[in-house]
Amino acid sequence: MLIVQLAIACGVLAVIYGIVTSGQVLKLSPGNARMQDIAAAIQEGARAYLARQYTTIAVVGVIMVVLVFFLLGTVSAVGFLIGALLSGATGFVGMNISVKANVRTAEAARTSLQAGLTTAFRSGAITGMLVAGLGLLAISVFFGYLIGPAGHAPTDRIVINALVALSFGASLISIFARLGGGIFTKAADVGADLVGKVEAGIPEDDPRNPAVIADNVGDNVGDCAGMAADLFETYVVTLGVTMVSIALFVKNEDVLALMSLPLLVGGVCIITSIIGTYMVRLGSGSIMGALYKGFLTSALLAVPAIYGATKFALGDLNAVIGGGREAAGPDVAGAVAAGAGSFTGMDLFWCMMIGLAVTGALVWITEYYTGTNYRPVKSIAKASVTGHGTNVIQGLAISLESTALPTLVIVVAVIGAYQLAGVIGIAFGATSMLALAGMVVALDAYGPVTDNAGGIAEMAGLEDSVRERTDALDAVGNTTKAVTKGYAIGSAALAALVLFGAYTADLKEYFPTLIVDFSLSNPYVIVGLLLGALLPFVFGAFGMTAVGRAAGAVVEDVRDQFRSNPGIMAGTSRPNYARTVDLVTKAAIREMIVPSLLPVLAPVAVFFVIRLVAGPANGFASLGALLLGVIVSGLFVAISMTSGGGAWDNAKKYIEDGNHGGKGSEAHKAAVTGDTVGDPYKDTAGPAVNPMIKITNIVALLLLAALAAHG
C-alpha cells in the first residue's frame, strides 16, 4: 500500500508541476490587442467545439455507463466514469493551456527563438505532465481505494473488472476525441489550404481566408485535446492491463507488490520527465537537439529510477517470483502457464529496459522516416520535381516501407521480453514505454502551440522574423508529432498482446469446461483474423472520407464567402470566421460517431454471429483471433499513415527551404498535394487506430465478464 501511496504522491507532483508552470506561462505577456483578438477567436472556437463534442460523447457515455452498471455492477460503472471523465478533462485542460500559450509564444518569439521555444515547450510540458499525472492518479487512487478502504483483495474479480472498465471509459472518450478532433483539424486545414493557397493564391494563415481561424482551432482541438485524450488512454490502458495480467497470472503472495510496481514505475518516471523538461535549452545546437536533450535526460534517468523502484517494490531482485502455474492449476492453457512462469525482479527490470530501448528505437526510426535530413523525405521531395503523381507515388512507397523497422523492433522486443518473463514481461515492457509518456506528450503538444503562434503572427501582421522563428519551431513539430503516434501504436502492439493473454486467461476462468481452439488450423481463427484485420481498413476509410467530405464543405463555404463579399479579398471587410468554425464543428461531430462505434460493436457482432453458426467455443476463438487481427493489420495501417503523412509534410518543408526550386515552383505545388494527402493520413485516420485497437480488446474482455455474469 505504501508503494501505491508513493505513486499517488508522484501523480500529485505532476499536477502541481502543471499548476505552477501554468502560472508561469499565463504570467507572460499575451501581446498586443490585435493578437489578443485573434487568440480570443481561436479560444472561443475551440471551446465551442469541445463543448459540443463532449455533449455528444456524453450521450454515448451515459448509455455505456448504464450498460456497464447493469452488466458488471456499481464498482465497474464508477471505474468507467473515472476513466471517461479524466480522459475528457485531460483533453480539456490541455486545450485550455494551448489556446492561451499560443499568443504568448508568438509574443515571446518577438524576443528570441529561445523565448519562443521555452514558452511553447512549457505549455506542452503542462499537458504532458497532466496526461501522465492524471493517468497515474486515476489508476492508483482507484486501486488504492479498492484494496484499502473498500477491502477487496487485489486479485478479486471486482478489482480486475473495475480496472478494465476504467480503461474502457478512457478508451471510449479518447477514440471520439481523437477522431472528432482529427476530422476537425484536417478538414479545416485541408479546406483552408485548397481554397487559400491553391485557389486564391494567398499565403497560409492569411487573415482574409475565412477558414483560417478554423484551421487554428483545429490545432488545439485535434493535435492538442485529441492527442492528450489518446495518450491518457494509452497510459491508463497500458498500466491497467499490466496490473490485470498480473492479477490473472500470478496467484501468490507477491501479487500486491507486483501489481503496485507499474504504478511506482509510472511515478518515478514522472519525476525524471519533470527533470527532463528543464533540460530543453537551445544552447548551440538545433531545436530538435534541444528537445532531444530533454527526452534523453528523462530516458537515461529512468534507468536508475526504474531499477530503484523495482528494488523498492520487490526487495531481492534475484528472488524467483511467480509460480502461479501451480496455483492456477494444472489444466491452465499455454498462455496462462507462460504468463505465470517464474521470473525474478531482475528479469522484470530488463523487460522494462527493453521498453525504454523500444521507445528510443521508435523515436529514431520515426525521425529517420520523417526528418528532412534523410533519404525518405528527400526522395519524396525529389519525386515532386516530376509532378503531383510521382510525389504521391513515392510518398505511398515510403509510407509502406516505414512499417518495416518498427515491426522488427517490436518483434525483437516481444521475443526478448517473453523469454525473460513471459506475458508479464511484455506487459512490463509496455509499462516502461508509457512511463515516459509525460515527456513524449510534452514534445508533441508543443507543436500545435507553435503552429498557432505562427498563425497569430501572420494574422496580426507581426514582423517577419517572428514568423520565421515560429516556422522553425513548427518544422520539428512534424517529427515530434509522428514520434508520439509511432510510440503510441508501438506500445499498443505490446499492450494488445497482453490484452489477448488476459482474454485467454479470463476465458479459462469464466468457462473452465469450454475447450477453445486458438490454433491457426481452426478456420474460425482465420475468420477472426481476417475480420479483425479488416477493421483498421474500414476505420481508415471512414476517417479519410470524413475529412475529404468536410474539407469539400469548407471549400464551398469559403468560395461562397469570397463571392458574396468581395471586400474580404480586398482586405476591407472581415470574413465570417465563426460560420466556418461552426460548419467544421458540425461536420466533425457528425462524422465521428459511426466509425467510433465500429470497434465497440464489431467484436460483439462477430462473437454472436459465429456462436450462432459454429457454437460458443468457435465464437470465442473467432473473437480472440479478431483481437489479434486488429493489431496485426492496425500496426501497419497506423504506422504507414502516420510516418507517411509526416514525410509528405516535411518533404514540402524541405522544398520550401529552397530545394528543388523552392516555394512557388512546380515541385512545391506537387509537394503541397502530397502534404494535403498526408494530412488525414497522419492526423485523422492513422492515430485513431491506436485507441481503436484497445477498445476492441477491452470490449472483448467486458463481453466475457458480462457473459459470465449473465450467460
Q: Is 278 an interacting residue with respect to a second copy (CB under 8 A)?
A: no
CB of residue 419 to a second copy, shortest distance in Å: 7
Q: Binding of a second copy at residue 400 (CB under 8 A)?
A: yes
The residue within the footprint of a second copy, chosen from 198, 594, 601, 605 (CB under 8 A), is: 198
* Three-state SS sequence of 464-511: HHHHHHHHHHHHHHHHHHHHHHHHHHHHHHHHHHHHHHHHHHHHHHHC
Query: What is the residue type of 605?
Result: A
CA geometry: angle 343, 349, 350, nearest 5 deg: 85
Under 8 Å between Cβ of 209 and 575: yes
Which range touches a second copy (CB under 8 A), out of 143-151, 311-319, 342-350, 522-530? 522-530
Q: Does 407 contact a second copy by CB under 8 A? A: yes
- Report the residue from 390, 565, 576, 665 that binds a second copy according to the rule CB under 8 A: 390
The strand ranges marked E within 239-329 are 320-321
* Among 165, 188, 194, 703, interactor with a second copy by CB under 8 A: 194
Residue 457 in contact with a second copy, rule: CB under 8 A = no
DSSP calls for 155-216: T-HHHHHHHHHHHHHHHHHHHHHHHHHHHHHHHHHHHHIIIIIIII-PPTT-TT-TTHHHHH
Q: Strand 343-344 and strand 320-321: pairing?
A: antiparallel
Residue 612 touching a second copy (CB under 8 A): no
Q: How far is the CB of 544 from a second copy (least distance, A)?
A: 4
Cβ proximity to a second copy, 76 vs 402, nearer residue? 402
Residue 335 in contact with a second copy, rule: CB under 8 A? yes
- Which residue, 57, 95, 108, 31, is CA-closest to 448? 95
Whether residue 263 contacts residue 3, with contact meaning beta carbons closer than 8 Å, is answered with yes
673 touches a second copy by CB under 8 A: yes
Q: Which of residues 494-513 bind a second copy (CB under 8 A)?
A: 497, 500-501, 504
Alpha helices in 315-436 (DSSP H): 324-327, 334-340, 345-370, 375-384, 388-401, 404-435
Closest CA to 279 of 98, 122, 101, 487: 122
Distance set, CA 361 to CA 265, 301, 356, 408, 431 (Å): 20, 17, 9, 11, 16
Closer to a second copy by Cβ: residue 450 or 504: 504
Is 665 a binding residue for a second copy by CB under 8 A? The answer is no
Binding region for a second copy (CB under 8 A) out of 18-26, 319-327, 394-402, 653-661: 394-402
Q: Decide if residue 526 touches a second copy (CB under 8 A).
A: yes
Only segment of 34-42, 60-68, 407-415, 655-663 that touches a second copy (CB under 8 A):
407-415
Q: CA–CA separation, 400 vs 659, rounded Å? A: 25
**Under the criterion CB under 8 A, does residue 123 sit at the interface with a second copy?**
no
Cell, residue 604: 460483439
657's grid cell: 527551404
CA–CA gap between residue 72 and residue 136 (Å, rounded):
24
> Which residue lies nearer to a second copy by CB, 360 or 548?
548
Query: Which is closer to a second copy, CB of 350 or CB of 446?
Result: 350
Of the listed pieces 106-114, 251-259, 376-384, 698-706, which binds a second copy according to CB under 8 A? 376-384
Q: In angstroms, give the least distance from the CB of 673 to a second copy.
A: 4
Number of other residues whose CB lies within 10 A of the CB of residue 161: 26
The CA-atom distances, in angstroms, between 542 and each of 158, 396, 507 are 36, 19, 32
Q: Which stretch binds a second copy (CB under 8 A): 344-352, 379-387, 562-570, 653-661?
A: 379-387
Cα–Cα distance measured from residue 321 to residue 330, given in angstroms and rounded to the nearest whole number: 18
Query: Under rule CB under 8 A, how many of the chain's residues touch a second copy?
Result: 88
- Name which of 114 and 386 has its Cβ closer to a second copy: 386
Is the Cβ of residue 365 or residue 473 nearer to a second copy in the bound state? 365
Instruction: Please say which residue, 39 or 533, places its beta carbon nearer to a second copy.
Output: 533
Binding of a second copy at residue 620 (CB under 8 A)? no
Q: Is residue 601 exposed (0-12), middle (13-18) or buried (19+ Cβ within 10 Å)? A: exposed
Looking at the DSSP assignment, which residues form a beta bridge with residue 321? 343
Q: What's the Rg (C-alpha) of the chain?
A: 24
Question: What is the spatial distance between Cα 160 and Cα 129, in angstroms, rounded to a whole number?
Answer: 26
Continuous segment of H or E residues that includes residue 344: strand 343-344
The distance of closest approach from Cβ of residue 246 to a second copy in the complex, given in angstroms and rounded to an integer, is: 17
- 30 is a site residue for a second copy (CB under 8 A): no
Amino acid identity of residue 241, one-letter, is V
Shortest separation between residue 395's beta carbon and a second copy, angstroms: 9
| By the rule CB under 8 A, 517 interacts with a second copy | yes
632 binds a second copy, rule: CB under 8 A: yes
All 3 cell numbers of residue 383?
519525386
Instruction: Give the number of other CB atoms < 10 A from CB of residue 514.
Output: 12
Stretch of 299-307, 341-349, 398-406, 590-598 lying at the interface with a second copy (CB under 8 A): 398-406
Q: Shortest distance, CB of residue 669 to a second copy, whole angstroms?
A: 9
List 677, 688, 689, 698, residue binding a second copy (CB under 8 A): 677
Interface of this chain with a second copy, residues 413 to 452, rule: CB under 8 A: 414-415, 418-419, 423, 426
Q: Which is nearer to a second copy, 8 or 414 (CB)?
A: 414
Q: Is 105 in the site for a second copy (CB under 8 A)?
A: no
- Within 633-662, the residues that bind a second copy by CB under 8 A are 633, 635-636, 640
Rule CB under 8 A: choose which of 130, 264, 672, 705 binds a second copy.
Answer: 672
In the set 538, 601, 605, 612, which binds a second copy (CB under 8 A)?
538
Name the minimum Å distance from CB 602 to a second copy.
Answer: 11
Rounded Cα gap, residues 340 and 203, in angstroms: 60
**Given the complex with a second copy, which of 99 and 531 has the nearer CB atom?**
531
Rank residues 173 and 531 by Cβ distance to a second copy and give the closer one. 531
Q: What is the C-alpha to C-alpha distance for residues 619 and 408, in angstroms, rounded to an integer?
A: 32
- Distance of alpha carbon 122 from alpha carbon 450, whole angstroms: 12
DSSP state of 530: H
Stretch of 98-106, 409-417, 580-588, 595-603 contacting a second copy, by CB under 8 A: 409-417
The cell for 314 is 520487490
- Residue 586's nearest CA partner among 192, 180, 182, 195 is 180
Question: Taking CB under 8 A as the rule, which mask of x and - marks residues 302-321 in contact with a second copy?
Answer: --------------------
List the interface residues with a second copy, window 552-571 (CB under 8 A): 552, 555
- In the complex, least distance from residue 97 CB atom to a second copy, rounded to whole angstroms: 31
Rounded to the nearest whole angstrom, what is the least distance from the CB of residue 404 to a second copy in the complex?
5
315 burial level (CB within 10 Å; 0-12, 13-18, 19+): exposed
Per CB under 8 A, does 692 bind a second copy?
A: no
Query: In the bound complex, what is the minimum distance in angstroms from residue 683's beta carbon to a second copy?
Result: 12
- Identify the residue among 48, 67, 317, 393 touching a second copy (CB under 8 A): 393
CB of 457 to a second copy, least distance (A): 25
343 membership: H or E segment, kind and range? strand 343-344
Q: Is 388 in the site for a second copy (CB under 8 A)?
A: yes
